[in-house]
Amino acid sequence: MIQSNESIASSYKYWPQGKGVFVRALGSEAHGTSSSEQLMREAMILGLSWVMLPGILQYSTGTLDFTKKIKDFAHGLRSIGVEPLIWGWVIPSNWKQWLSAMDKTAFEANIEFVVVNAEKPWLSKTNEALEFTRKITDTGVSWALSSYGAPYYFNNFPWKEFLDQGPVCGMPQIYDMQNNQPFDYPTRSHNSWVNLGYYPILPTLDGSNAHSSSQMSGIFDRVIDQINPNGISWWSLDHIKRSSSRSNFIKNIYM
C-alpha cells in the first residue's frame, strides 16, 4: 500500500506533471541539443510534457556550466507547449556558487522549478545540507531533491536536513540497473521517501543501455500499478536517442 500526504501536495507551489526527460548537455547533437530546434523536435517526437535542462554540473574534476544557453532552449520549448525546468549536480564544498548561478538562471529564463541532484558527496554532510536548504528556500523557487531510490541503504545521507525548511518534492531514482530489484521496489522506494517527509513524489526511471525496451516497460508498469504518480521522467535523452525501441516505448506512453 502506498503512502501519501495530500495536504503537502496541495500546498506545494508547482511541480511537473506528465512525462519528461533529463538532458545531460546543451549544444550537443548526441544529446539532442545541437540547437533549440533539435531539442524541440526531440520533445515533440517523444510527446513530452516537460524537459529538465542542465544548469551547473559540479564534479570533483571540474564544473560544467550550461546556464548561458538555458534561456534560448527554454523559449523554444515553451513555444511548442513543453515546460522547461532546470537541474544541476551540486557538491557540498561549492554549493554557494551553484545556488547563485542556478537562481539567477531560473529568474532570467522564467523557470519555476529547480532540481537538486545530490548523491555520494553529500553523505554525512548534515551541516552543509542544512545551510544549503535554508538558502535555496530563501530564493522562493519550487525545488526538488533527486537522489537514491532506496533511502534505506543510505542512512548517512542528510534526508531530514534537506527538509529543514518544509516539504520538498522528491524525485527518487528508481533505477533497476541490474534488472533484479524486487517486484515491490517502486512501492518501497515511494513509501521510504514519503515517510522521510518528501512529497509529492515524481520518480525518475532509467532509459540507458542497461535496459531493453521490454525491461523499461516492466519497471514502468510496476511504477504505474503501484504508485500511479502524476509525473514521471527518464534519465536521459541521449541514452533514449540511441535506441529506436526505447524511444518508441516512451513515445507511446500517454499520461
Q: What is the residue extent of each domain of the chain? A: 15-251
Q: Which residues of 127-165 are buried (b: 16+ CB within 10 A; e: fewer)?
A: ebbbbbbeebeebebbbbbbbbbbbeebeebbbebbbbe
pLDDT at 93: 95
CA atoms within 13 A on the CB side of 162: 27
d(CA 168, CA 147) in angstroms, rounded, equals 12
pLDDT digits (tens, 9 = 90+) for 221-232: 999 999 999 999
pLDDT at 109: 97
State residue 10's pLDDT score: 46
Q: Does the pLDDT at position 89 exceed 50?
A: yes
Closest CA to 3 of 200, 181, 169: 200
- Burial readout 207-236 (b: 16 or more C-beta within 10 A, e: otherwise): bbeebebeebeebbebbeebbebebbbbbb
Query: Over the stretch 158-191, which tens digit does the pLDDT of each residue have?
Result: 999 999 998 899 999 999 888 889 999 999 999 9
Question: Which phi and psi (to 5°) does residue 37 adopt?
Answer: -65, -40
Give the right CATH number for 15-251 from 3.90.700.10, 1.10.10.10, 3.20.20.80, 3.40.50.2300: 3.20.20.80
- pLDDT, position 74: 98
Does pLDDT of 107 surpass 80? yes
Per-residue pLDDT band for 5 (boundaries 50, 70, 90) equals low
Contacts of 255 (CB under 8 A, 6+ apart): 17, 18, 19, 49, 231, 232
* pLDDT recorded at residue 1: 57
Among 87, 78, 111, residue whose Cα is nearest residue 237: 87
